[in-house]
Amino acid sequence: MKKTTILMLFFGIVNLCYSQSEIKEYKVQDSLYLVGDRVYSLYYITPDGVVVIDPINERIASETLRSIRSHTDLPITHVIYSHNHWDHNSGGRIYKEQGATFLAHEKAAANMTPNENVIEPDAAWSGDKTVLETGGKDIELYFYGQNHGNGMTVFRFPEYNAVFTVDLVVPDRVLYAYLPDAKPKQWLEDLYEIDKLKFDELYMAHVRPIGDRSDLKLQIRYFEDLYAATEKAMADGTPFFEIPDKVRMPQYENLKNYDEWLHMNVWRILMEKSIGQ
């Protein structure tokens, strides 16, 4: 089975799970909103129109548009993809019909996971940083490297001194299963770089949408401790294939999916350590 087919099946199961929760609107600032259930789309109202980050899927996009129209009649000017995974990028057709321009980092645009529901980007940006100026408002877009997925963009809103991360920081939960399509070492390095950004509030795309720098710090510590625990088991001579079941991190046992996913997190670090994957 091809890798793209496996990913489509994997993310399809994810979307099925997400579709079972109530969709809610969160007003996080005067012109900044998040809409979703356990996965969230963000929109920013500017004097010229509305910028949407990640349409997610048809169901959430429809509710997001309903939310937008309850606050403004301004046009949808832009839809920005945070990265190349279609579990965040489906559902954009409703915005395309509104005349929105679709934007992604060039790495995301070149590596979009095939899905007929994903609208191809109209434009791509390159480099490590760009600024989208619309209606006199700025959105800073940062690219650090391939961490989770490809072309991952981190968004900063200077007006509110706030940052939006997608998938890179997930609060109250261990890392996602076996970290599909991710480079853990680069991911951790990029978290250190995000920590250098100026922000008070941190908005996130999964589980709990509103947080702060402490959520980023916890994600960093989890990665560091995951590496340390895995490396210790290897150094202690634990048989390789027993390591995922031997490594325990009791300081994180309160996090969601600890029992179900910790061993898969360990497997991913083992793959990186043993074969450079």
pLDDT digit string (tens) for 112-125? 988 999 999 999 99
Q: What is the distance, to the nearest Å, from the Cα of residue 12 to the centroid of all Cα atoms in its chain?
A: 16
Q: Angle at which helices 258-275 and 213-235 pack, to 10 degrees? A: 60
- State how beta strands 101-105 and 76-80 pair: parallel
**pLDDT tens profile 6-38:** 444 444 544 444 445 899 999 999 999 999 999
Helix, strand or coil for residue 123? Answer: strand
Pairwise CA distance, residues 117 & 206, whole Å: 21
277 pLDDT band, cuts 50/70/90, is confident
Q: Residue 4: pLDDT above 70?
A: no
Instruction: Please give the backbone phi and psi of residue 98, each rounded to the nearest 5 degrees, phi first.
Output: -85, -5
The CATH number that domain 3-275 falls under is 3.60.15.10
pLDDT at position 117: 95
In one letter, which amino acid is 251? Q
pLDDT at position 17: 45
pTM confidence score = 0.92
**pLDDT tens profile 71-127:** 999 999 999 999 999 999 999 999 999 999 999 999 999 999 889 999 999 999 999
**pLDDT tens profile 152-209:** 999 999 999 999 999 999 999 999 999 999 999 999 999 999 999 999 999 999 999 9
pLDDT at position 20: 56
pLDDT cut 70: percent of the chain above it = 93
Q: What is the largest CA-CA distance in the chain?
A: 64
* Mean pLDDT, range 216-228, rounded to an integer: 98
* Mean pLDDT, range 205-219, rounded to an integer: 98
Q: Delimit the domains of the chain by residue range.
A: 3-275
CB atoms within 10 A of CB 3: 10
Helix, strand or coil for residue 222? Answer: helix
* Mean pLDDT, range 224-253, rounded to an integer: 98
Pairwise CA distance, residues 164 & 152, whole Å: 12
**pLDDT tens profile 46-61:** 999 999 999 999 999 9
